[in-house]
Amino acid sequence: MVAAGNPHLRAVGCSLLSALLVEFSSSTRATDVGLTWEVHLRAKRAFETTHLRKVFQFCQQGLREAAGRLGPNALSPEDRALLRRLLLLSEQLLSWNFQFAMPLPRKLVGLFESQQSPTLRPGPEWKGAFDEAPQLLLQLYGALGQDPELAHVALQCLLQLATLNGALVGERDQRGTHLSRFLGGGLLDLMGARPPREGVAQLVGRLALFHPPSLLGPDLLGPYLERLCALAEALLQPQPGLSREEADHRQESLDQLLDAWVPLLQDAALLPEEPLRGAALRLFQLYLRSRLAPPDGTRTPISDDEDEVAEEEEDDRQRYRDQLAVVGMLGRHVLPHAVPLLSQLLEQRTKHLQEVLRNDPRSGGDVAAHKELLEDLHWLVLMTGHLLTTVSEGETPLIPRDVTQYSMNCGAESPATLSLLSQLGQGDAPVCQGSPDPVVRLMVAVLQLCAVERAALQAGLAPLLSPEVALTLVWFLRRWGLTYLLPNESYYSQMSPTLVAAFGRDSEAGPYVLDWVLGKLCSNLELWSSEATLALGTCQTLVSLLNNVERGHQAAACPSLLALVQRRGQLGSLAPGAHRALLKALVIACTANRS
């Protein structure tokens, strides 16, 4: 009926096939007709074994014929209707749940079948059935750019085909072959299309999840990395005039594209060093530039409307945490470049902020430029935090191995590092003498920004500061402090001598830095308690930092914490949540006992 030339018969034939697939696809939703549960399962299994592949091959043949009719001219209504039905049938087939090779209770089957899109996991009898499908569907998707409805269905088919797993691709070379069929079948061309096609980034991310790019040979790996960076560059380019929804779509596409980098970086040892390192460096720089204002970056100017929207939205630390986590992985892959670059940018902008605060932009200064400067600092601190730390909920924060190795191999001098650390909060920017540890220098750059903020608060310049930047600094102090401040060295097989000298439990500098950090947090409560969110975040950070036997024990003797206890009644009206967290932090510190 579908092969007949009569459009009506074609429609009826496709409807019958769709009804059959619906009837046999789900045992829990199949028509009851008084049959036992075991009969339903056997019928589904028999249909899968005998007829399902034939239906899929029939759909593929129909799609090949439809692809041959595609051209510059629009399809006739009859041809379009047939193509739509065939694509929908293909989507049903590729979403088929093959998981039940053995009889299972109805309740368990219902749990599995509640998945919206189960992964494609056919048995070995389907060998060879999907060899031509990637190229065919990519051809259709590429040709249907002017028909969003059909392009969407074709994309769903591709996304399902990308999840192919199980017996058909059980071996490493089989998975690599399946991935190569996508890239060689037209995906590389789609990744190079401008403007980027919606859904391509999602497809790339889905493929990388099920078929890691480390499976690729050198002939495809280079072009793949090049297109991956080019697509990211296109998504990171500023697009003035986008609606809020369109901007969110671009960010979602960027999230999905960055997901493709995770397996690449995790399997870095299996890949040639230079192509991957060059691509990682390029993408890190692209992302950094996209978050900075001109001339160093490409970020669009902040408007008053954006300020109003930002107050209602999720903060950047949560909204972009997945992006930043991947960018942190990229940065750790190119630490000799990323660490000095971030240090330089932070030091320059912190120095600029000091100059601005001295001149007070409210008295004829450039208020817009001041906002851009604060936004730059906000993003630089976020990227630094994700570069230096990999905090996971429920796990003990540890110094990343790449950071330790870089610190050990950079030829740093402990006296120069400690000299740099001792200059914290002494007004001007710390002066580097000798060869300090570049990792510690980056940390000091952030801590110096904290010192500038604290000095501005003491000088009554709170209106010139940004509560958002202050929250980001508190976020950094929490992540960084949990990881680097008085670490438990027994958790590591090797430690950097300079990091131990600067922040170790038995070092002279460690307790000094702890007291300095506590002093900064206490200054937020004493001088900026009117910002309820900042006060709560500060108190929660105090709890996190002190909820450790060693840090709590050392903190009990810190002058900054003792001063806070003495002046607790002068802190003003803290919100109940912040007040409870503060009391909890003080109790933890006072009861800490490492003996």
Q: pLDDT at residue 566 above 90? A: no
pLDDT single digits (tens) 306-320:
554 455 567 899 999
Higher-confidence residue of 464 and 47: namely 464
Per-residue buried b or exposed e for 366-383, using 16+ beta carbons within 10 Å of the residue's own CB: eeeebbbbbbbbbbbbbb
Question: What stretches of 66-210 adopt beta strand conformation (E)?
Answer: none
pLDDT at 76: 85
Higher-confidence residue of 356 and 14: namely 356
Pick the range with the lowest mean pLDDT from 55-59, 184-188, 207-211: 55-59
Burial (0-12, 13-18, 19+ Cβ within 10 Å), 531: middle
In the structure, what pLDDT confidence band is assigned to residue 557 with cuts at 50, 70 and 90?
A: confident
Q: pLDDT at residue 110 above 60? A: no
pLDDT at 6: 59
pLDDT at 242: 81
Q: pLDDT at residue 129 above 90? A: yes
pLDDT single digits (tens) 371-390:
999 999 999 999 999 999 99
Q: Residue 215 in contact with residue 172, Cβ under 8 Å?
A: yes
**What's the whole-number mean pLDDT along residues 328-345?**
97
In the structure, what pLDDT confidence band is assigned to residue 7 with cuts at 50, 70 and 90?
A: low
Q: Of 330, 576, 585, nearest to 478 (Cα)?
A: 585
Q: Inter-axis angle of helices 133-143 and 77-94, to 10 degrees? A: 140
**What's the whole-number mean pLDDT along residues 482-506?**
93
Q: Of 328, 317, 321, nearest to 284 (Cα)?
A: 328
In the structure, what pLDDT confidence band is assigned to residue 13 with cuts at 50, 70 and 90?
A: confident
Q: Angle CA(39)–CA(45)–CA(47) in degrees, nearest 5? A: 100
Nearest-angstrom CA–CA distance, 443 and 477: 10
Q: pLDDT at residue 232 above 90? A: yes
Q: If you average pLDDT over every residue of the chain, what do you get?
A: 87
Pick the range with the lowest mean pLDDT from 114-118, 440-444, 551-555, 590-594: 114-118
pLDDT at 114: 53
How far apart, in Å, are the Cα atoms of 333 and each of 69, 404, 436, 524, 533?
48, 13, 21, 35, 35
pLDDT at 26: 60
Higher-confidence residue of 138 and 396: namely 138
Nearest-angstrom CA–CA distance, 559 and 556: 8
Q: pLDDT at residue 72 above 70? A: yes
Q: Residue 480 in contact with residue 388, Cβ under 8 Å?
A: yes
Identity (one letter) of the amino acid at 559?
P
Tokens at residue 45, please? 């299994």
| Domain ranges (residues) in the chain | 1-132, 317-504, 508-594
**What's the whole-number mean pLDDT along residues 562-578?**
78
pLDDT at 309: 44
Q: pLDDT at residue 298 above 90? A: yes
pLDDT single digits (tens) 243-289:
888 888 999 999 999 999 999 999 999 899 889 999 999 999 999 99
Q: Of 215, 217, 250, nearest to 232 (Cα)?
A: 250
**What's the whole-number mean pLDDT along residues 191-215?**
94
Q: DSSP state, 397?
A: -
**What's the whole-number mean pLDDT along residues 124-148?**
94
Higher-confidence residue of 3 and 292: namely 292
**What's the whole-number mean pLDDT along residues 437-453?**
96
Q: pLDDT at residue 527 above 90? A: no
Burial (0-12, 13-18, 19+ Cβ within 10 Å), 431: exposed
Q: pLDDT at residue 330 above 60? A: yes
**What's the whole-number mean pLDDT along residues 424-448?**
85
In the structure, what pLDDT confidence band is assigned to residue 111 with cuts at 50, 70 and 90?
A: very low
**What's the whole-number mean pLDDT along residues 296-303?**
88
Neighbours of 41 (CB within 10 A): 18
